[in-house]
């Protein structure tokens, strides 16, 4: 699988419990693969230290990003001690409570931290416990969240007792309201919500899509892609002539699912039109060309009967800093064919992809996710490494309304831009004054990835 991933800065490296000889065996495997597939393989040090722990060794050979010295460097490659768990998480199956949240300082220069729920997966432990979008957590298992403990309290346990705060007169007020949740192995369905709105003579389709994943873990099918197809089939049947695509919490996924979604939206496209092109390293490119031809580097659109592009002149995409990689690929790939208007906040900035490398023999347990290609749309554009700045800037407020509510800030703005009038008055609070720290989305293995299935690629992984 090819994928581009963003790992959050709060991820804790695995503890090295292997012997020096075991380290060297793993590191030789890492080095052999990286020399072959890494996008910056010509920048790998000539004599790296093979005695380091595997995670430290992997980091030591990366062409790491530096704003002043290596502005073109790598921000996204990573390695994990458990390759099987890595592969499962890339398909949306993890041990989780089933909610994603953003972490904020409770006030400017405060040591205290809160976690605000962004969304809850239907049927998940968090959903069954009654947690919902907008809930604010200030205490976990009897301890108030602060800068020092939030990572261990929110990400290490599997059983949680949360205490909730609420917003009153623009201030956070603690309550004794509690929610108890136990994390379990749970499969995320990337299609969170779809709706159709009729406003001022316009029929607006709305889709909240949170991960580009074709199927559940363990499946070789395309069940989730088919679900997206069914949504657009319904849009077509209902005469949708405007589209709002909500990718605000979508950190990436498989390029095949990205192409599937774009092929349902694009105007005047079919399987002869280029969606995006890939640039690989100079070692692999001639070998891939010889084996597969130039078509290997080109992802074309797919001809889809459910495509609604003939009824659209434009598409509105809702974005935040969590909108990354395969989500940005949709924005970049559709722009040569139709007007794409972004509403929200600047996207993450991820125009490269990586592959999942594990050892098929089972001798090496580690798994790694190195960057292997850079993407370009049909016009040769790949200029969003700093993210797409929104055409219309709208910040998510501290008072979060349910996704799909026409009063919700980003959707409300999109409907206003479509119809010229607001279908409902916006919520009173329009800004969020709290300083953001990080989010659970940044820690997801899906974070900022583009994934291309390489089932037939004969590389020496």
Residue with tokens 């998510």: 396
* Contact yes or no for 208/244 (Cβ under 8 A): no
pLDDT in tens, 381-398: 999 999 999 999 999 999
Q: Could you tell me the pLDDT band of residue 446, with boundaries at 50, 70 and 90? A: very low
Q: pLDDT value at position 15? A: 47
Residue 125 has pLDDT above 70, yes or no: yes
Q: pLDDT value at position 423? A: 73
* Contact yes or no for 362/79 (Cβ under 8 A): no
Mean pLDDT of 13-25: 66
Residue 182 has pLDDT above 90, yes or no: yes
Residue 14 has pLDDT above 50, yes or no: no
Q: Could you tell me the pLDDT band of residue 6, with boundaries at 50, 70 and 90? A: very low
Which comes out higher in pLDDT, residue 271 or 460? 271
Mean pLDDT of 13-30: 74
Q: pLDDT value at position 12? A: 34
Q: Could you tell me the pLDDT band of residue 19, with boundaries at 50, 70 and 90? A: low
Q: pLDDT value at position 444? A: 67
Q: pLDDT value at position 430? A: 65
* b/e map 324-351, b = 16+ CB within 10 Å: bbbbbbbbbbbbbbbebbbbbbbbbbbb
Q: Could you tell me the pLDDT band of residue 22, with boundaries at 50, 70 and 90? A: confident
Of the given ranges (96-100, 197-201, 360-364), which has the lowest mean pLDDT?
360-364
List the domains of the chain with CATH numbers: 95-186 (2.30.42.10), 188-364+371-431 (3.90.226.10)
Q: pLDDT value at position 456? A: 37
* Contact yes or no for 10/436 (Cβ under 8 A): no
Residue with tokens 């041990």: 95
Mean pLDDT of 106-115: 94
User: What is the average pLDDT value for the chain, to the nearest integer?
Assistant: 90
Q: pLDDT value at position 457? A: 42
Residue 1 has pLDDT above 50, yes or no: no
Mean pLDDT of 428-455: 69
Q: Which residues contact 377 (CB under 8 A, 6 or more apart)?
A: 274, 275, 276, 277, 332, 333, 335, 336
Q: pLDDT value at position 7? A: 33
């Amino acid at each position: 699988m090819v994928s581009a991933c963003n790992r959050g800065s709060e991820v804790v490296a695995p503890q090295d419990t292997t012997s020096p000889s075991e380290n060297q065996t793993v590191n030789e495997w890492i080095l052999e693969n990286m020399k072959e597939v890494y996008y910056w393989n010509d920048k790998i040090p000539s004599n790296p230290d093979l005695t380091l722990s595997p995670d430290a060794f992997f980091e030591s050979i990366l062409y790491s990003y530096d704003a002043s010295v290596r502005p073109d460097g790598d921000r996204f490659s990573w390695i994990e001690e458990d390759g099987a768990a890595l592969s499962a998480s890339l398909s949306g199956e993890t041990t989780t409570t089933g909610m994603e949240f953003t972490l904020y300082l409770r006030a400017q220069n405060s040591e205290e931290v809160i976690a605000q729920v962004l969304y809850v997966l239907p049927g998940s432990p968090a959903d069954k416990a009654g947690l919902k979008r907008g809930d604010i957590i200030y205490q976990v298992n009897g301890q108030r969240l602060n800068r020092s403990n939030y990572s261990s309290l929110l990400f290490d346990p599997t059983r949680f007792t949360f205490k909730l705060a609420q917003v009153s007169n623009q201030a956070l007020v603690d309550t004794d309201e509690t929610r108890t949740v136990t994390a379990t192995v749970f499969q995320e369905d990337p299609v969170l919500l779809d709706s159709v709105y009729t406003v001022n003579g316009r029929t607006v389709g709305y889709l909240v899509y949170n991960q580009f994943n074709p199927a559940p873990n363990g499946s070789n099918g395309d069940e989730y892609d088919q679900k997206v197809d069914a949504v657009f089939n319904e849009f077509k049947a209902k005469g949708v002539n405007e589209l709002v695509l909500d990718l605000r919490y979508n950190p990436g996924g498989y390029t095949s699912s990205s192409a599937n979604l774009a092929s349902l939206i694009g105007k005047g496209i079919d399987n002869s039109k280029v969606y995006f092109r890939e640039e690989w390293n100079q070692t692999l490119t001639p070998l891939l060309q010889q084996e597969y031809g130039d078509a290997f580097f080109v992802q074309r659109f797919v001809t889809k009967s459910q495509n609604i592009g003939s009824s659209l002149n434009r598409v509105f995409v809702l974005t935040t800093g969590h909108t990354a990689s395969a989500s940005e690929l949709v924005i970049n790939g559709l722009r040569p064919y139709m007007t794409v208007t972004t509403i929200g906040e600047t996207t993450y900035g991820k125009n490269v992809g990586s592959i999942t490398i594990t050892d098929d023999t089972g001798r090496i347990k580690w798994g790694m996710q190195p960057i292997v290609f850079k993407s370009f749309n049909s016009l040769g554009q790949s200029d969003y490494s700093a993210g797409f700045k929104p055409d219309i800037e709208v910040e998510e407020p501290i008072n979060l309304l349910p996704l799909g509510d026409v009063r919700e800030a980003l959707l409300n703005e999109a409907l206003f831009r479509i119809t010229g009038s607001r279908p409902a008055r916006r919520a009173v609070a329009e800004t969020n004054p709290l300083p953001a720290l990080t989010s659970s989305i940044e820690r997801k293995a899906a974070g900022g990835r583009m994934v291309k299935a390489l089932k037939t690629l004969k590389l020496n992984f």
